[in-house]
Amino acid sequence: MPELRRDPVVGYWTIISTERSRRPVEYHSSPVTEERSCPFCEGRESETPNEIYAVREPGTPPNGPGWRARAILSKMPILAEPDGSDRFGRGIYDLMEGVGKHEIIVESPRHRHSLDELEVSEIEAVIQVYAERLNELGKDPRFIYALLFKNHGLISGSARDVIRHTRSQLIAMPITPKRLKEELESARSYFERRERCVFCDILRQESQEAARVVSENKRFFAFCPFASRSPFEVWILPKMHCPDFGRLEAAAFADLALILKQCLFKIRALLQDPPYNMVLHTAPYRHSKKQGYWKTLEDDFHWYWQITPRLTRDAGFEWGTGIYINPTPPEDAALLLRETAYATTA
Amino acid sequence: MPELRRDPVVGYWTIISTERSRRPVEYHSSPVTEERSCPFCEGRESETPNEIYAVREPGTPPNGPGWRARAILSKMPILAEPDGSDRFGRGIYDLMEGVGKHEIIVESPRHRHSLDELEVSEIEAVIQVYAERLNELGKDPRFIYALLFKNHGLISGSARDVIRHTRSQLIAMPITPKRLKEELESARSYFERRERCVFCDILRQESQEAARVVSENKRFFAFCPFASRSPFEVWILPKMHCPDFGRLEAAAFADLALILKQCLFKIRALLQDPPYNMVLHTAPYRHSKKQGYWKTLEDDFHWYWQITPRLTRDAGFEWGTGIYINPTPPEDAALLLRETAYATTA
C-alpha cells in the first residue's frame, strides 16, 4: 500500500511507493517497446481486471466483446482500496496510507493511439463513461475528489511500460489536491469581490478579444489561456456556467465530443503528435463538509478541460519559483491552431 | 522584452516571450551537439558579456584569464533591464514587462561538466561568487527576490542549445515567486504556533531518526526529505539557524563546499550522471515592506539547497493535483547514497 506523506513545510502531499522500491538502475532501463498483444483491445477482456462499467451493444454480457468504452480497475494503482488505515503522525511528520481507487477508462475497442482518431459518436460514449464513473465514485463518502486525466505519449512517474491504446485514468482520493484547493479558493475570492464567476468573465473577455480562440460551438468554447504555462495549452469550457462535469446532460455530449476531437486533432497535426496531458478541473464531491469554501461552489467554480502539450521541460527556474517560461505567446499559438485545417478522418 | 502575465484564476505568473515567438517546428529540432569552442572556458572571455564580478589571481585584470569563478550577464535573459515599464491591466488580466537581471556564474575556468569535479577549494570560490552576487543584487530596490539555481544536464524551457560547462544562474526579479511565498507563509505559521523554526525541527528529527541522512559535517546536514517529490532528492541545510544565504561567513565556505561536492558526487556515481536541478531557497530581500510576513523572517525561515535529480517526468496526475509520485522511498534513497563511496577525484 503506497504511503501519502505530507511535507512539513508547505504541506504538499507526496505518494511514496513503499511496497516495492524502484532501484537506481530501473530509472535508466529504456521503456518497453510497443506491446505485440494489447490487453485493452476488444477480444482480450479476460486479460484485464473485471469491468466496472461499459457502454455496450444491447444484450452483450460484461467482460466480453461488444463494448464501445469501458472502465476497469488499474493493475498498478497509484492509490488503492484501504485495509483499515487512517491518518497518523511520526514526530513532526504526517502521513496516511494511500487510500483511494484507480480506474482505467479504455476509450475504444480498436487499437487507436489518440482520442481524436475516434468518430464523434464514439467520443460521446467515452464522455458518457467519464460522467458515469465520476458520479458513481462520488457516492463513496471516503472520497473527497476524483481526478480524471489522460497522459498521451507520456510515461508518468509510476508506469514503466508503454501501451499506446487510447485511455484515460480516474483516481478517487481522500484529500483535496493542493492545486484544486488553490483554484477553488481563488475562484471563491474573485466571486466574493465581484459576484461573478471568474471563468465566466474569462469567457466573456476571450470571446470579445477573439485573439486566443481556438474553436467554439453552441455549448463549448476552446482557447489558449492568457497566461499559458506551456506553449499551445488549450482550455475547453462550457459556455453556460456549471461547476460539476458530472452534471453534463446527454444532449451536450455531441458538442463536447466534437470540440475535443477538433482541438486534439489540431494539436496533433500542428505539433507532430506531441505528448500531452489532458486534465479535467471539476468541483469536489459535495458530501464532504470539511472545508468551508465548498458552500459557495455553485456559483464560483466552472469546470473545464486543460490540454497541455509537453514541448518544454521545466528546470531549476520553474521549480524554484513556480513561474513558467512560455516561448510561444498564446495569441500566436491560437492563430496557428485556428489555421490548422480540421479534416475529419473518420 | 518578455511579458510577465498573471493567471486570473489562481494568480501564478508566467513569462511569455513576446519578442521572438518560437514556432512549432522549433520544438522538434534536436539540441545542438556539444560546442567545439566553449565561450565559458578560460582564454575566451571576449566571447562573453563583460564580467560583473570574479574571484581572480591578484593583479589579473577583468575580462581576461586568471579567474577561478566569474559572474557575467546572460546573453539570453529570462528577465532583463527595464526600459520604463510598470504593471498594467488589460480587461481582467494583469501583466507587466519582464523586468529583472539574469546573470550566469561560470564555476570553473576549465571545461568541466559537473560542479563536483572541482576541488573543494575551487568550490569555495564558487560559493564566494554566489554570496557576493546575491548580496549585491539585493541593493537594487526594484528587486524583491533573486533565484540562484543550476540546471545540470537539462534543457530548460528557454534554452535551445547545450553547453556543458559547469555554471549556475542567478535571476533577480520584481515579484515574490509563488512557491517561495507559500514556503515563507507556511514557515511563519509553524513558527507562530510553536515558537520554533520548522527547519530546525526537521533537522532535529532527521538527526535522531538517522534513516534519511546522506552526509553531515560540523556546520551542514544533508538528507533525503520525508515527503521527497522526486526520487533521490537531497536537501542541504546549515545546522545553525540562518534565514539568509548571503550572510554565510567565509569560515563556513569549506564545509559547504565539501558537503556539496559529496552529495553531487554520490548522486552522479549512483545514478549514472542524471540530469538534476539545484535550487537555493533563501529569504527575500529585506528592503521591501510590501509583504507583512517578512517581518518575522529572522526566526522562521532557514536557507537550504534543494538538489532534485530528474529521473521521472510529471504527467497528468501531478499536474492536476500537485501531488507527486515518488517510486523510491527517501529512506532507501538515503541508504544507497550513504553506501555510495565518496572518492575524491581531485
pLDDT digits (tens, 9 = 90+) for B126-167: 999 999 999 999 999 888 899 999 999 875 544 445 678 999
Per-residue pLDDT of B52-63, as tens digits, reads: 999 999 999 999
Q: What is the pLDDT of residue B29?
A: 60
How near does any CA of chain A get to the CA of B60, in Å?
33
Q: Specify if B207 maps to a domain.
A: yes
Sign of the torsion angle spanned by Cα atoms A183, B276, B27, A321 = positive
Mutate to test the interface with B, among A5, A13, A14 (most CBs of B within 10 A): A14
Task: Give the residue from B63, B99, B94, B106 showing the smallest Cα distance to B79.
Answer: B99
* Kind and range of the H or E run holding A54: strand A51-56
- Asked if B40 contacts B62 with a C-beta cutoff of 8 angstroms, the reply is no
* Better-predicted residue by pLDDT, B38 or B83: B38
Q: What is the pLDDT of residue B346?
A: 46
- Summary mean pLDDT of chain B: 87
Give yes or no for residue B98 having a pLDDT over 60: yes
Strand pairing report for B324-326 and A13-16: parallel
How near does any CA of chain A get to the CA of B330, in Å?
9
Contacts of B78 in chain A (CB under 8 A): 317, 325
At residue B235's C-alpha, the angle toward residues B103 and B339, to 5°, is: 125
Q: Specify if B72 maps to a domain.
A: yes
Give yes or no for residue A195 having a pLDDT over 70: yes
Contacts of B79 in chain A (CB under 8 A): none
Give yes or no for residue B32 having a pLDDT over 60: no
Per-residue pLDDT of A84-104, as tens digits, reads: 556 667 788 888 777 889 999
Q: What single-letter amino acid sits at B14?
A: T
- Tell me the C-alpha to C-alpha distance, in Å, between residue A54 and each of A50, A57, A132, B295: 11, 10, 10, 58
Give yes or no for residue A290 having a pLDDT over 60: no
CB contact under 8 A, A156 and B313: yes
Per-residue pLDDT of B293-316, as tens digits, reads: 455 567 889 999 999 998 887 778
- Asked if B115 contacts B149 with a C-beta cutoff of 8 angstroms, the reply is no
Gyration radius of chain B's alpha carbons: 20
Nearest by CB to B182, which of A10, A93, A155? A10
* Better-predicted residue by pLDDT, B96 or A301: A301
Nearest by CB to A315, which of B21, B151, B280? B151
Q: Specify if A346 maps to a domain.
A: no
Task: Give the residue from A61, A46, A170, A159 showing the smallest Cα distance to A106.
Answer: A170
Q: Specify if A58 maps to a domain.
A: yes
Contacts of B15 in chain A (CB under 8 A): 323-326
| B308 DSSP β-pair partners | B277
d(CA A169, CA B317): 9
**Domain extent for A82:** 3-339
φ, ψ at B304 (rounded to 5°):
-160, 155
Arithmetic mean of pLDDT, A216-221: 98
Q: What CATH code is carried by the domain that includes residue B81?
A: 3.30.428.10
Q: Which residues have a Cβ under 8 Å from the Cβ of A1 and sit 6 or more positions away? A: A18, A19, A80, A82, A83, A85, A97, A98
Residue B96: closest CA among chain A residues belongs to which residue? A227
CB atoms within 10 A of CB B249: 9
Task: Give the residue from A245, A303, A309 showing the smallest Cα distance to A277.
Answer: A309
Give chain B's domain count.
1
Contacts of A232 in chain B (CB under 8 A): 24
Nearest by CB to B318, which of A157, A199, A272? A157
Q: Specify if B345 maps to a domain.
A: no
Which DSSP letter does residue B288 get? -
What order do you get walking across the sheet with A3-6 strand by strand? A87-90, A93-97, A3-6, A13-16, B324-326
d(CA B70, CA B54): 4
Q: What is the pLDDT of residue B179?
A: 86
Contacts of A13 in chain B (CB under 8 A): 227, 323
User: Residue B288 — pLDDT band, cuts 50, 70, 90?
Assistant: low
Q: What is the pLDDT of residue A108?
A: 96
Which DSSP letter does residue B273 get? S
SS3 of residue B221 by DSSP = strand
CB contact under 8 A, B10 and A199: no
How near does any CA of chain A get to the CA of B74, in Å?
14
ipTM exceeds 0.90: no
Q: Which residues have a Cβ under 8 Å from the Cβ of A298 and sit 6 or more positions away? A: A243
Nearest by CB to A10, which of B183, B228, B330? B183
Nearest by CB to A5, which of B156, B226, B272? B226
SS3 of residue B172 by DSSP = strand
Contacts of B16 in chain A (CB under 8 A): 227-228, 326, 329-330
φ, ψ at A171 (rounded to 5°):
-125, 115
Torsion of CA A115, A120, A122, A126, to 10 degrees: 60
Give yes or no for residue B224 having a pLDDT over 70: yes
d(CA B12, CA B6): 6
Q: What is the pLDDT of residue A36?
A: 65
Give yes or no for residue A31 having a pLDDT over 50: yes
